Structure 1
Amino acid sequence: MPDSIDARSVRADDLRYLLAVARAGSRAVAATDLGVDSSTVTRRIRALEKALGVRLVEQGVDGWELTEVGRDVAEGAAPIEAAVERTIDAVAGARANSLRGNVRITAPDAFGAYFVAPAMARLRNENPDLTVEVLTATRQLNLQQSGFDVAIAVGVPMSGKLVTAPLAEYALGLYATDEYFQTRPVPQTAADLTAHSLIWYVESLLQVGDLDLTHHLPALTSRLMSTNVFAQVEATRAGGGIGLLPAFVAMRHPELKRVLGDAVEIRMDFSFAARRERLSSPTVQAIHAALRAEVDARVGELLP
């Protein structure tokens, strides 16, 4: 870090470019968000590094990654962006609490579809200048590759770059159809499950520790697997086996009957996570509030 920096050499707009890279974890994604090409992002970041006399970004395995100093600088740049947005609102005569810009959320498939999507639809209706992208996949968070502002994860993401908070607890149970049991005995104890086909995730691809089957039903192995919970539901509905499914998903299909409801119920947690430099964003705070309201109003679905 140089002994002194001429503040006149630091362009506030370059700080916004760094903030975009911090959020996206990718030069290409940041360029798309900013409406420019990738070379412009590179040029503006290098100019900022030259003005400050420090390295702000470095090449990671999957894209650009901010250095420790870069993360601190990006966090300090957030109020600049907020000030620009307030100025635009003032000139446009928008409501004082109106949100604008783009925000990207990543969430597990089912929770993203049934909880995040309706919550964001209502938030969008209140803030028509806000653009929301919801990416759904049940996977380990990859900060550089995925590029997100907010993440909903199963369990607690293990990363010093994220600040996490509990969002909701949810229940999973065993479900099957009457068709499946037409030619098979209904299990009376958990030990009887070894004679049945279990439908679950492809664990070798999932890499989400909380969903490791051995943590919950160590004597069982899955014979029909998918990385997508909706595919698991359809396989269970088709009589392909006994599915270990979130209750808030299974309850939407009356033909799915609970199996060993008194003996097998698994509880897991959804966490809300955001990069440290995004916590002060009014948009991130509004998303957190909207999701909290959604899960609080529908806790009976998550924990029936």
Structure 2
Amino acid sequence: MFTSDNLRFLLELSRTGRISDTSKRLGVDQTTVSRRISRLEKDMGARLFDRGVSGWQLTEAGRRLVPYAESIESTLLSALGETTASASPSLNGTVRILTPDGFGAFVLVPGLRSVRVRHPDLYTEVLTSTTHDVLTGRDFDVAVTLERPSPRSVVVSKLADYNLRLYASRRYLETHESISSVDDLRHHTLVWYVDAFLDVEPLRILDRILPTGRAQIQTNNIAGHYEAVRHGVGIAPLPTYIGATDDDLVPVLRDEFVIRRSYWLVVPRELIRLARVRAISDALHEIVDRNPDLRAR
């Protein structure tokens, strides 16, 4: 017969990845852990873990079950009068964050130090993507998006606004024709996303700048845009939280070209009460608040 107590064994094994460590944390022998996991897999009618060289890894079915196990854990802690701020200040487990590549690489990852200090046992997985269907798989705990999704099955809130400007390196501007109007850009090398894979409407910027133009250098991540500009390859729209931090980059058409875009914070409804999700959501707001080139909410 199914018992929710077996979810506790799934939760701890998902966190440690090893039967021996799980048995120590739960105060039982390894045989008990194995038996409980086998019982749960039988009850669920699916394999919940794959055993590999690096330890026990959750299958897709197991990963879908974890939020429910954590919800039960959080409810029990609340019932006992415990809070993550007092009784158990350090969280554990794993949080998977989906984010656009620029925000993920240049804002989120550098800002995770405070999370590591507060929660050294909490693992963070950052997946970057700039595609329209980033949320369709629902394989995330927290997401940052450029488009505001339907709130049907998720909780959505405004995270920040940011500006995009055109940037070029000083070397590039010294060795190429001057730029005094948007039309002059036709005589310069533009760098942007790959047209065939760019389906996020807020990033279809070049279509509006030069309706008949096209970026001669196309790459599917913003780090490539930044490196191309930094090495004098061409001109690219960059968020000011990237371009303004590099003294060798110069805004092009400062008075004519500035585009404001927004980031949205997205959390599946069934995860919104989990302590680890709340902690990461709060951390994201703190990271944004500390960045002078992001306008919080």
Q: TM-score, normalised by structure 1?
A: 0.71
Instruction: Give the corresponding residue for 1:262.
Output: 255
For the 8 Å contact 2:15–2:92, the answer to whether it is kept is no
Letter in 2 for 1:206: L
1:152 aligns with 2:144: yes
Offset of residue 147 of structure 1: 2.5
Offset of residue 84 of structure 1: 6.0
Instruction: Give the corresponding residue for 2:236.
Output: 243
SS for the counterpart of 1:171 is strand
Q: TM-score, normalised by structure 2?
A: 0.73
Aligned-partner Cα distance in 2 for 1:117–1:259: 28
Letter in 1 for 2:216: R
SS for the counterpart of 2:216 is strand
Instruction: Give the corresponding residue for 1:126.
Output: 118
For the 8 Å contact 2:161–2:263, the answer to whether it is kept is yes
Instruction: Give the corresponding residue for 2:166.
Output: 174
Aligned-partner Cα distance in 2 for 1:36–1:131: 16
Aligned-partner Cα distance in 1 for 2:249–2:110: 24
Superposition pairs for residues 221-236 of structure 1, below 5 Å?
221-236=214-229
SS for the counterpart of 2:225 is helix
Aligned-partner Cα distance in 1 for 2:198–2:241: 21
SS for the counterpart of 1:179 is helix
**Cα deviations across residues 111-170 of structure 1 (Å, max 9, x unaligned)?**
223322244321221122222222233333444657221111222235743322110100
1:135–1:240 distance in 2 versus 1, CA, 3 Å: same
1:216–1:161 distance in 2 versus 1, CA, 3 Å: farther
SS for the counterpart of 1:11 is coil
Aligned-partner Cα distance in 2 for 1:86–1:164: 25
1:204–1:249 distance in 2 versus 1, CA, 3 Å: same
2:205 maps to which of 213, 217, 234? 213
Instruction: Give the corresponding residue for 2:278.
Output: 285
Identity of paired residues, percent? 32
Letter in 1 for 2:233: G
Offset of residue 173 of structure 1: 0.4
Q: Which runs of 5+ in 1 are unaligned?
A: 1-8, 21-30, 51-62, 66-70
Letter in 2 for 1:105: I
SS for the counterpart of 2:112 is helix
1:99–1:36 distance in 2 versus 1, CA, 3 Å: closer
Offset of residue 287 of structure 1: 1.3
Instruction: Give the corresponding residue for 1:294.
Output: 287
Aligned-partner Cα distance in 2 for 1:225–1:42: 50
Superposition pairs for residues 64-75 of structure 1, below 5 Å?
none
For the 8 Å contact 2:190–2:235, the answer to whether it is kept is yes
1:149–1:36 distance in 2 versus 1, CA, 3 Å: farther
Instruction: Give the corresponding residue for 2:187.
Output: 195
SS for the counterpart of 2:140 is coil
For the 8 Å contact 1:17–1:45, the answer to whether it is kept is no
Aligned-partner Cα distance in 2 for 1:109–1:103: 18
